Amino acid sequence: MRDSTADNPDSLLSAPVDLFSISSRPHISMPADMATRPMILAAESLARAHHSQYDPSHDFHHVARVRSLSLSIANSLPTPPDLLVVNLAALFHDLLDRKYLPKEMIEVTAQDHLAGFWALWPGAISEERQRLVERVVENVSYTKEVKRIREGKQTDWHKTCLELHCVQDADKIDAIGAFGILRCAAYSAVSSRPLYLPANSGPTTSTSSSAIDHFREKLFSLHRMMKTAKGREIAERRTDYMHAFVAQVELEWKEVEEGNC
């Protein structure tokens, strides 16, 4: 029987990731074309080492979930994107996250940052695909996207690049729902942001006065920024869960405040 993947080796990159056993082995098991598999394993190692210094809100488990979601979304599209580019861009999507880099560090481009990595794998991926991976990495950020939209700088490429859309949707999806709640709490802890403050608690100096405020300021609106049908479906479901969670927090606070526990 003919192997159904013979005509499209990159389709093997869409195999599901076993997230439950990720911490027990050095690499995620991800079947791939023989020419690219060693490079993908090296990309995993690079991302794992980089994110080992981060808190649980942006650790390698976050990267693994985004990669799995990105590939799942990619495979749902009527016009298939470049799965190798989606795979690598998802693995590298947070390498340049400014909030975790030293403030005095000179900002570098994704091309500069990844030049050494590509040099280790001559011939494994074309320069054109390298540039696309780098471009996705530099444009996936929610903060940068909001700024581009506000300043009218969204180009046709931003609006049509399927590889970018897959990783953007996946990254936003991991910020909402049950994992989004966990990540919000984790980042609030490391940034000393209160989990909850009542309305009459007075002004604060933080950007978000509490973790719960962050839901209203950002997380509740992410589903409206989805670029793909599958991303929108998942995001809407997870947003409903967050609304129920915040409502429960408000209820429990009211019970405590009124002494009706």
Q: CA nearest 185: which of 142, 242, 102?
A: 242
Indicate whether 244 pLDDT > 80.
yes
Q: CA nearest 197: which of 207, 211, 186?
A: 211
Indicate whether 30 pLDDT > 60.
no
Provide mean pLDDT across the span 27-52: 80
pLDDT at residue 4 in the model:
37
pLDDT at residue 32 in the model:
52
- pLDDT bin (cut points 50, 70, 90) of residue 202 is low
Angle between helices 127-139 and 142-150 (to 10 degrees): 80
Own/partner pairs, 186-194, CB within 8 angstroms, 24+ separation: 186/55, 186/56, 186/57, 187/55, 187/57, 187/58, 188/214, 189/55, 190/55, 190/57
Indicate whether 204 pLDDT > 70.
no
